[in-house]
Structure 1
Amino acid sequence: MRDRLRPPVVLPRFGEALAALSRGVATLSTLRGLLLRFGLALALVAVVVEALVGAFFLLPQRETVAARRLSDLALPLAVQFRELVQAGLAPDQALDRLRPQSAALGLYVAVVSPGGRVLRDNGGGLLEGAETGLRVEQLSTDVAAPQLGTLDGPGGQRYRYGAVGLAGSQLVPSRPDLGGLLVAERADVQHFGLRAYLQPVVLGGLVGLAMAVALGLVLARRLSRPAERLVAEAQGSAFVDGGALPSGGPAEVEALADRLGIVGDELRRVRQATRGFVMALGQAVREPLSNVRAGLREIVRASDASAEERQVALQLLDQELRRLQQLVAQLLALARLQTRQVEMAQQAVDLVALATETVDAAAATARERGVGLLFDSDGQPAVVLGDPDRLEQAVRALVEHGLRECPPGGEVTVGVGLFVPEDELAPGRSARRVSMPALHVWLSVHYPGSPAQREDAQQLFDLAGLAGADDGAVSDRLGLAIAREIVRAHGGKVLAEGDAVVGVRLALVVPAAKDAAPAAP
């Protein structure tokens, strides 16, 4: 294994292709529902976005709304305070007169000194002594244009207020000690109603929902028509037999049609390979059955045959029945492995020792065929975790295939070693400097092979191209297919390549056990 093996083009199994086709058809048949759900999701997103945008733009306006309300309410209170004072009431009495009206509005009316300190309020002294920080001399005496601001009461409560000037004005000419009139309310009182906010949001959301649903229905209708034609064609027998899928429609449907076309090509290729395999299997079974029938006929007719002749006929019958039994056993084993009905033992298996035993057992067969059989390994263990009997079956299938296909006078070489796929170390190179978890074990069988064999090497592990093959070739390919499933069950893979330089090379690659690191040099 001096050269890196190229992964073979593996022919998908018939069931896998059918499953892929079913998934494609199911995807197309649910396209309408997916688009409708997309429209609903779009509507939900529109509502959420509208709510967030509304919160971003409208919620900061709460203070502006509250200040405008305070300014509007301060005007009549200031006018009434002026009228009461001008009528001869003291400021304290005027504040008391305004208490019912201001309390009903949640407001407090207070007078401040020229220095900006609250002298008295009509809210039970909540604001008395609070420093407003107002420059009273700059306050406007226009009650329609109060100065807005905030202050902290003696109890720590924050208030917003509107203030107008009193000192030096005609508002209260008899009280020059009064600096200004202040109308306040608690700052945590909000006048930005939830209803006023939700009403446009809900209405806009309903409009967006209706538009999104309508858009989803339009898109669904636009895509469903070509999709329905595609589904109808894909479900028909003409597509499986090679018919073309309808073209046209949106890009998504075109992409699905292309994928279904690829699945259809693979499905037709699998069906063709399956038909060839069934034909080859029928021929392989028909010959032993014909021989058994002929042997039985001879035994019945030859009543005067000697015991030796009958023994020969019985041996022939036994041989042919064994051939049939082997084919049936291989088919059952392949089916069970493909459906994962075979339990694999978990033991430490040294593939070097296993390959050595297999090569020794096949030495006599190699001599009979006039083929050389060599074993190449550096001698260090190559341990994997798996079922020793199944792994021995897989290795034996590769070796027997090499001996069968190698021309007389050629050599079959069996090699085992460690390598690291992540670093693209070619099988056979040193892996002493790499970490243990990345190690894999490779086992390869190499033989010269004819040009036709080298060309078809990548299909050796599949049951394709068996039309017209004899029962020996069918049994050989069944053995390789079984080997592939055994290796897959161990978390590995099989590889095959063939060219004029390397001949034909088959290999299996299995993850090494955790304690399978190469020994130090």
Structure 2
Amino acid sequence: MDSRQPPRLKASLPDVRPLDRARSLKVKLSVVVVVSVLIAASITWLGLRNGLGPTKTFPLAIIFSLSFTLLIARGMTSPLREMTAAVSAMAEGDYSQRVRATSHDEVGQLALAFNAMVEEIASSDQIRRDVIANVSHELRTPVAALHAQLENLVDGVVEPTPATLHTALTQTERLSRLISYLLDLSRIEAGAAELRVKEFAVGDFLEDAVGALTMLEAGKQLDFVVDVDPGDLTITSDPERLRQIVTNLVQNAIRHSPYGGTVTVVAREEGDEVLLDFLDEGPGIAVEDRERIFQRFARGGPNSRSVNHPTSGGTGIGLAIVRWAVDLHGGSVRALEAPKGARIHVRLPKNHTLVGHQPS
């Protein structure tokens, strides 16, 4: 049997499914019982009319009734056997097999859910493979550059000038950022982390966080705008986790901004919440991807942009870390429609008073 085709049943009995239109397994079983009884009664009646005794009539009635029952039951349970074969194939890494879901009853619904689950597992497995390859590349590039730089310094090929040391420092910082991403991902997988909150000024915090990222614009000559209203707005939050939110979203905006574009961070007070908007002038995010991009290892479609898309240069976990950090604060994050480019909207409670909080 070709391992990439749906599992086939043995050819001892045909796989017939005349009861697929029934929407309940109870109805199917009732039909099978009634028809089996009618077959047995009919054969018994015909046998007695033609002078056949009970010793010949009853065995024939039993044989025909059982044959009908086995034939129909085979078709009813066929999806369950196909699931068993598909699970065995999945255990060996083959996610191509699917269950033939033609009935409308509980077994058919289970088959549809099983196929959807296999699709999701196959997609997640492929995305994880892509992420591993992408992270490996991201690690290899700064390591190779740093190794070459240090080797030249040791061999005396170049002098330890401020420029060469700055290059080495840049690569080290790039490595540190990537390692921080991976550590954050492990915390997401564990499902727990601490919050250490304190009160601080939102304006000063955003100016400092965004200012530290302006060097990452890679010669795009971007303008960075931080707009806070009111100017003395404060928040009681975990500054380290909030910096993760700002850093990932601003890096995302930088990565997808066009040459000479503007990256805008807006903070507003609304009741007991602080609203943050991160806007850029890039290609935007497709409507169908606006929820999916915050999932771990998710990627946008071909006409959408996402930090998780392999061509974007990201590690594939930036927006997942954003959602994780926002959820720790009891807030929300989503992608909204923007007149131009993309808009990521974050809502955080203004006063988060839990210290050492661990999400359930």
State the TM-score, normalizing by the size of structure 1.
0.43
How far the C-alpha of 1:232 sits from its partner, in A, is 0.7
Q: Deviations over 1:225-276 (max 9, x none)?
A: 4564254135233596232114356711111111222222222222222222
Aligned to 1:483: 322
Matched, 1:474 2:326: no
Whether the 8 Å CA contact 1:349–1:385 is kept in 2: the answer is: yes
Aligned to 2:87: 235
Q: CA RMSD in A?
A: 4.1
How far the C-alpha of 1:291 sits from its partner, in A, is 2.7
Name the CA distance, whole Å, in 1 between partners of 2:216 and 2:143. Answer: 27
Q: Deviations over 1:192-244 (max 9, x none)?
A: xxxxxxxxxxxxxxxxxxxxxxxxxxxxx999945642541352335962321
Matched, 1:503 2:341: yes
Aligned to 2:109: 255
Name the CA distance, whole Å, in 1 between partners of 2:245 and 2:221. Answer: 24
Quick one: structure 1 residues 261 and 367, their matched pair in 2 at CA, closer, same or farther if it must change by over 3 Å?
closer
Whether the 8 Å CA contact 1:377–1:417 is kept in 2: the answer is: yes
How far the C-alpha of 1:290 sits from its partner, in A, is 2.8
Matched, 1:396 2:247: yes
Q: Which of residues 124, 146, 158 in structure 2 aligns to 1:270?
A: 124
How far the C-alpha of 1:509 sits from its partner, in A, is 1.9
How far the C-alpha of 1:443 sits from its partner, in A, is 0.7
Give matches, 1:51-450, under 5 Å.
225-226=77-78, 228-238=80-90, 241-247=95-101, 251-295=105-149, 298=152, 302=155, 305=156, 308=159, 316-348=167-199, 351=202, 354-359=205-210, 369-379=220-230, 385-418=236-269, 439-450=272-283
Quick one: structure 1 residues 312 and 402, their matched pair in 2 at CA, closer, same or farther if it must change by over 3 Å?
closer
Q: Deviations over 1:267-299 (max 9, x none)?
A: 222222222211211211222233344445545
Aligned to 2:55: none
How far the C-alpha of 1:353 sits from its partner, in A, is 5.3
Aligned to 1:66: none
Name the CA distance, whole Å, in 1 between partners of 2:161 and 2:232. Answer: 52
Whether the 8 Å CA contact 2:336–2:345 is kept in 1: the answer is: no
Name the CA distance, whole Å, in 1 between partners of 2:349 and 2:158. Answer: 57
State the TM-score, normalizing by the size of structure 2.
0.60
Question: Computing the radius of gyration over CA atoms, which structure comes out larger, 1 or 2?
Answer: 1
Name the CA distance, whole Å, in 2 between partners of 1:357 and 1:296. Answer: 31
Give matches, 1:34-49, under 5 Å.
none
Q: Percent identity?
A: 24
Whether the 8 Å CA contact 1:223–1:253 is kept in 2: the answer is: no
Name the CA distance, whole Å, in 1 between partners of 2:81 and 2:234. Answer: 55
Whether the 8 Å CA contact 1:384–1:513 is kept in 2: the answer is: yes
Whether the 8 Å CA contact 2:235–2:351 is kept in 1: the answer is: yes
Amino acid at match of 2:326: V
Whether the 8 Å CA contact 1:347–1:386 is kept in 2: the answer is: yes
Higher relative contact order (CA 8 A, sep 6+): 1
How far the C-alpha of 1:497 sits from its partner, in A, is 4.0
What are structure 1's unaligned runs of at least 5 residues? 1-34, 36-220, 420-430, 432-438, 516-521
Quick one: structure 1 residues 290 and 409, their matched pair in 2 at CA, closer, same or farther if it must change by over 3 Å?
closer
Aligned to 1:96: none
Whether the 8 Å CA contact 2:332–2:347 is kept in 1: the answer is: yes
Quick one: structure 1 residues 285 and 351, their matched pair in 2 at CA, closer, same or farther if it must change by over 3 Å?
same
Whether the 8 Å CA contact 1:274–1:464 is kept in 2: the answer is: no
How far the C-alpha of 1:306 sits from its partner, in A, is 6.1
Name the CA distance, whole Å, in 1 between partners of 2:97 and 2:285. Answer: 33
Whether the 8 Å CA contact 1:417–1:441 is kept in 2: the answer is: yes
Name the CA distance, whole Å, in 2 between partners of 1:315 and 1:411. Answer: 27
Whether the 8 Å CA contact 1:446–1:505 is kept in 2: the answer is: yes
Name the CA distance, whole Å, in 1 between partners of 2:249 and 2:138. Answer: 21
Name the CA distance, whole Å, in 1 between partners of 2:314 and 2:104. Answer: 47
Amino acid at match of 1:324: L
Q: How many residues align?
A: 270
Quick one: structure 1 residues 287 and 469, their matched pair in 2 at CA, closer, same or farther if it must change by over 3 Å?
farther
Name the CA distance, whole Å, in 2 between partners of 1:236 and 1:349. Answer: 55
